[in-house]
Homo-oligomer: A and B are copies of this chain.
Amino acid sequence: MISFKNDYSEGAHPRILEALTRHNFEQSDGYGCDEGCARARALILDAVRDRSCDVHFLVGGTQVNLCLIAHALRPHEAAVSAGSGHINVHETGAIEATGHKVLTRPAADGKLTPALVREVLEEHTDEHMVRPGLVYVSHPTEVGTLYTKQELEALSFFCRKRELPLYLDGARLSSALAAPGNDLELPDICRLTDAFYLGGTKCGALFGEALIIRDETLKRDFRFIQKQRGALLAKGFLLGIQFEELLRDGLYYELGAHANAMAEQLRGGIRGMGYSFAPETRTNQLFPRLPDGVVEALSQDYAFELWAKGGDKQSVIRLVTSWATKEENVARFLEDLQRLSR
């Protein structure tokens, strides 16, 4: 069984494990207060070109999302998200468990726009309703699409005018940064948001995410929240070691580029057989629409997610590539699909 189910099926890029092994017997301070974390922070601040930001290391995406949002909102405030947003659907009510509503708007391409956020604001007018207090986006989105620089600038401008912090979930940011046609560089993302995270778990690290906070108000006391939510790793130095390795010579971008290259091969091959995608993406998630029989047959040898059932004997499946995806497995998948498609 070959898996295209997600980008966290394997351990870590070998350089990560080597770095962990290399530092294994060093004695470090706990909770991210060690020198390795300091070096990783410095590299990240170089990469975002803003040395005034705070950087915190956490273990997983849901943790980052719930900590940052619980930290940013007052009790009566809510997060605004696309309906498909990870915080709305796939975190078992983690945000609500911290006391906050998630206000949503449907968005077929997974992207929020100033117009959609304005709609939410206009509906929430007084103290009988929650107050929108933060805007949550992800890049790539849940459906693998990307904001353009122009789109993120427009959203950022709108949010600042309305004094709404803008927070970006970058679980798969390495893929976004390396995507064909992408025009949003790390410094852009940093400049246009109030906080965002650089995903590690889905981008070749063993585990871990790096949260960058640019907004002064959001910086205050974040470590308390992190500790309170069980998200302050005792051996924080493990996170520092990994992000130092990912950032010090471009490994982070390379791993995204590899995942994307594998996705492009799959995409090209599948499209060549006449299939379409819903939606179209250029990142490491692809959503081909295939006949139900083909899907069934493929599932004997390949693991992937069934994304949406069509009523016309067709289904959309999700294929995910990663830093670890092997070219030979891509080739084999395409051969098998070719054969099944005859």
Contact = CB atoms under 8 A, between A and B. Distances in A.
Nearest to A322: B27
Nearest to A228: B92
Given A30-B9, A229-B230, A76 B60 contact: no
Taken together, the copies of this chain in the complex come to 4
A254 interface: no
Interface stretch (A67-75, A173-181, A244-252, A266-274): A67-75
A42 interface: no
A90 interface: yes
A187 interface: no
Nearest to A223: B127
A24 B17 contact: yes
A14 B23 CA distance: 11
Nearest to A171: B234
Interface stretch (A94-102, A160-168, A288-296, A311-319): A94-102
A216 interface: no
Contacts of A101: 93, 96, 102
A147 to B, nearest CB: 24
Contacts of A66: 229-230
Interface string A225-265: 11111111111001000000000000000000000000000
Interface string A32-60: 00000000000000000000000000011
A113 interface: no
B30 A10 contact: no
Contacts of A231: 63, 230
Given A75-B225, A92-B228, A25 B8 contact: no
Contacts of A1: 27
Given A8-B30, A9-B27, A96-B100, A128 B91 contact: yes
A26 interface: yes
A60 B228 CA distance: 12
Contact of A12 (B24, B92, B228): B24
The 4 closest A-B pairs by CB, nearest first: A63-B230, A76-B224, A11-B24, A92-B228
